[in-house]
Copies of this chain bind each other. A is one copy, B any other.
Amino acid sequence: MKKAGILGGGQLGRMLLQAAVNYPVETYLMENEEKAPAAHLCHHFTKGDITRFEDVYDFGKHLDFLTIEIENVNLEALEKLCEEGVIVYPNPAALKIIKNKIQQKQFYLEHNIPTSAFVETHSIEELKNNAHLFPAVHKVSNGGYDGKGVQIIRNIEDCHKGFHTAAVLEKMVNIKQEIAIIIAVGNDGQIAIYPPVDMVFDQMLNLLSYQICPAEIPQSVFWKAEAIAINAVKNLKSPGLFAVEMFADNDGNVLINEIAPRVHNSGHHTIEGNYSSQFDMMWRIMLDYPLGNTAIIQSTALVNLIGEEGHSGDAIYFGMNEVLSMDNTFVHIYGKQKTKPGRKMGHITVISNEKQELLHKVNKIKNSLSVRSQTL
């Protein structure tokens, strides 16, 4: 059996290992937290720091191949492993481009991939000197994740919130819709494209409200988005799975926002909604099997289950019975011991070919299900 490694033991690792159960593969996982969501589902668990060279190198050197569930891993160790014949998904060169937000933006420019205007900054002074881009988004170049290392700069008064380190300042896009497309790339360069997802945001909370697939977008937007996603992924020149997040503006333009070079939240609905899920697809790529079928079985809506405000501590789930009494509703709890405000604790997928049914159930789920802590 092939020996497969995963760096990181969160929900992405958990669902990857759930899909691995179908295939002949021996799984290894490295993660600092022994009770992480994925830790108990591998054949071999290694406690270690995925950002440390020695830990990653020692973990990887006896494996056939390796993947990541988060970009914040030790790149140098992956480069050395690659040189020594361990296959890494995505390859370190692609990961290097994506890990660094400045390089990622420059990559888009080089390959004529439409993206919002930007400048590189290294200090609050430089930030202030680029007021022509305001309102803008300021993002630290390295290590930002899930809202951390990101600030909205509307005007000069906001500049103190910016970052006094290598960062990228991006002109804000007049967003009409956020779309994501997942693309699988096989070892031979063959690609398979999933139908686009529409990420619907709650304008009041500035939070993802739910996502729906297939996205309801004009045909011209679909064509642009698919062309942009394919162009971006092909130019990364790496096998693996890539989630391409894009903005469609009010003028029908499509701009790339960012790429995640791995399984991604915007693809969780594929577990029930598509013949081959993103997790199944990832194993097919790594085990060098034919790519799976990305076609839709039924339309889906997906709601993230987020730790409730004001609750930190051992997680308790309220409303499971209400949600599970709805037909064709699939609950995925990530098994995190502790909840905290805003933490991703699970997701729920609804499948149906009736859009009204999807939206009705999304609303019911949002009103019934919550994660709180035992003690406030």
How far apart are A26's CB and chain B's nearest CB, in angstroms? Answer: 9
In the bound complex, CA of A43 to CA of B330 (Å): 22
**A-side interface residues, number (CB < 8 Å):** 36
**In the complex, which residues of chain B have a beta carbon less than 8 angstroms from the beta carbon of A14?**
21
Which of A14, A275, A292, A335 has the most chain B CB within a 10 Å cutoff?
Answer: A335
* Interface pick from A141-149, A244-252, A321-329: A321-329
Q: A290, B40: Cβ atoms under 8 Å?
A: no
Is A297 part of the contact surface with B, judged by Cβ < 8 Å? yes
Is A30 part of the contact surface with B, judged by Cβ < 8 Å? no
Nearest residue in B to A271 (C-beta to C-beta)? B22
Q: B327, A24: Cβ atoms under 8 Å?
A: no
Q: A289, B21: Cβ atoms under 8 Å?
A: no
With contacts A320-B289, A324-B289, A325-B290 taken as known, whether A332 is within 8 angstroms of B275 at the C-beta atoms is: no
Given contacts A24-B335, A275-B328, A289-B320, 20 further A-B contacts (CB under 8 A): A14-B21, A15-B21, A17-B21, A18-B18, A18-B21, A21-B41, A21-B332, A21-B335, A22-B330, A23-B333, A24-B315, A40-B42, A275-B351, A289-B321, A289-B324, A290-B321, A290-B324, A290-B325, A293-B327, A297-B297
Instruction: List 6 interface pairs A-B (beta carbons < 8 Å), by A numbering.
Output: A14-B21, A18-B18, A23-B333, A24-B333, A24-B335, A275-B328
